[in-house]
Amino acid sequence: MHALTLAAALVMAAPGMKPVPAVTQLAWMAGAWTSDQGDSRGESHWMPPRDGVMVGMFRLNGGGKTLWVELLTITQGKTGPVLRIRHFDPQLKAWEKEKTPLTYTAAKITEGHVIFTNPDGDVRRLEFVASKTGLTIRLVQQMGESTKTLEFRYRRSTKP
């Protein structure tokens, strides 16, 4: 056990080697977030990292009903955090036909900022940016030959 710990420490300390980004660097995402846009409300809840995993859920309401929900995880991958997403209707019927979730790898992590990418997905990039006033989430979608960026601004929620 100690030999493994020592070997890991030596690899991490080797000159020229960058440490692998960790899920714990995304702890700032934990908590409840709310976004109101028109008659729609988006609610996102993230559990803090524990044992290399963060768990999140999202709900979108509009017109007096729940439109859809998401289940999200961020796990530790070989090169850094990996975001996985599944979409459901309110009865938990999955949108994605595949048995695997949408998967994004962390391309860049700084304090209060993470960019996840999936070069093969319809949504190529998901960006989470913390600020003093809340959390901004940007989605970059591939639309044929062009891209479209959607931006959602959330505030920290104090109510369940």
Neighbours of 111 (CB within 10 A): 8
Mean pLDDT of 62-78: 96
On the question of pLDDT at 5 being above 50, the answer is no
> 2-156: what CATH class?
mainly beta
pLDDT of residue 10: 37
**What's the full length of the chain, in residues?**
160
Q: What 3-state class would DSSP assign to 52? A: coil
pLDDT at residue 97 in the model: 78
Given this model, what pLDDT does residue 112 score? 96
Q: Which residues pair with 140 in a beta bridge?
A: 125, 149
Residue 80, phi-psi category: left (phi > 0), alpha (psi -120 to 50), beta (remainder): left
Look at residue 13 and tell me whether its pLDDT is greater than 50: no
Q: Minimal CA–CA distance to 32: which of 152, 139, 134, 127?
A: 134
- Which one-letter DSSP state was computed for residue 23? G
Mean of the per-residue pLDDT values of the chain: 88
Helix (H) or strand (E) holding 59: strand 53-62
**What pLDDT, in 10s, does the model give residues 107-158?**
999 999 999 999 888 899 999 999 988 999 999 998 888 889 999 999 998 7
Domain locations along the chain: 2-156
